[in-house]
Chain A
Amino acid sequence: MIASLAGWIELAGGLLIAFGLLTRLAASIASGEMAVAYFLTSFSGKTLNHALSVLDRGLPILNKGELPVLFCFMFLLVVFYGPGRWSIDSLLKGKLRSAATSSSS
């Protein structure tokens, strides 16, 4: 259940972020999901399948949680940075703005 829920977030969220539709919303959800994934699997020792030392918990290179940490920070950066110029979001915003200016003039 929890894994397939995460999988749907990754599939839908990843495609939304990739093409820049509802980018900030999708990225914030995906970033939160990756933080949960890191703490539930890597930090808790599920990935390594043995008891963890303090070093194992603290360093992602040891608990094999490097990828979730990277995704978490990258998507949080996307939340703050925004979709950028080549995205469906900016395309829609440009369309809305031109529609507004053409109706007002």
Chain B
Amino acid sequence: MNSLNRFADPFYCVTRLIVGLMFASHGGQLVLGMFGGMPGSDNMMMQVGGWIQLVGGLLIAFGLLTRLAAFICSGEMAVAYFMIHVANAPTPMAKFFPISSAGPQVSNKGELAVFYCWFFLFVVFYGAGRWSIDTWIRKGKTAAATATI
């Protein structure tokens, strides 16, 4: 089963692409009004959050400045979870459980925010992976360095 580990890094890059694009589409919904927009997104906080999601999501998806972008997005999702989902939960139980398919009395529906927060924290520690602009730039630099020597 350990032989599967050789596919971990390529598959990590595919996952990073998909998750980054889905995250960026939330940003597009907030700041550009794509996908029908989102009600209540016309205040300063939500607009700043939306730009972080749009730009950060695209940076993570294509692997440019991956760790930095993932760190900011992860922090933003933690803020979103506690300041929006937990703060608006009506019951003590709903403050604790994020399950998105349950009712508002038992759940704050912040599962996506939690999921993105932890995934991006994983990205911060794992790095960009082999299929990313970061790796591509670094390879070009080392090739140029060895060419001059």
A interface residues, Cβ below 8 angstroms from B: 24, 59-62, 66-67, 69-70, 73-74, 76-77, 79-82
Complex: how many Å from CA A61 to CA B28? 11
30 chain-A/chain-B pairs, Cβ below 8 angstroms: A24-B4, A59-B25, A60-B22, A61-B22, A61-B26, A61-B35, A66-B22, A67-B100, A67-B111, A67-B112, A67-B115, A69-B22, A70-B19, A70-B22, A70-B115, A73-B15, A73-B19, A74-B15, A74-B115, A76-B11, A77-B8, A77-B11, A77-B12, A77-B15, A80-B4, A80-B7, A80-B8, A80-B11, A82-B4, A82-B8
Q: B interface, how many residues as a size bin?
A: 20 to 34
Q: Separation in Å of the B141 CB from the closest CB of chain A?
A: 28
Quick one: given A67-B112, A77-B15, are A59 and B8 in contact (CB under 8 Å)? no
Q: Decide if the interface of chain B is mainly helix, strand, loop or mixed.
A: helix
Q: Decide if the interface of chain A is mainly helix, strand, loop or mixed.
A: helix
Q: Counting chain B CB atoms within 10 Å of each CB, which of A60, A62, A66, A74 scores highest? A: A66
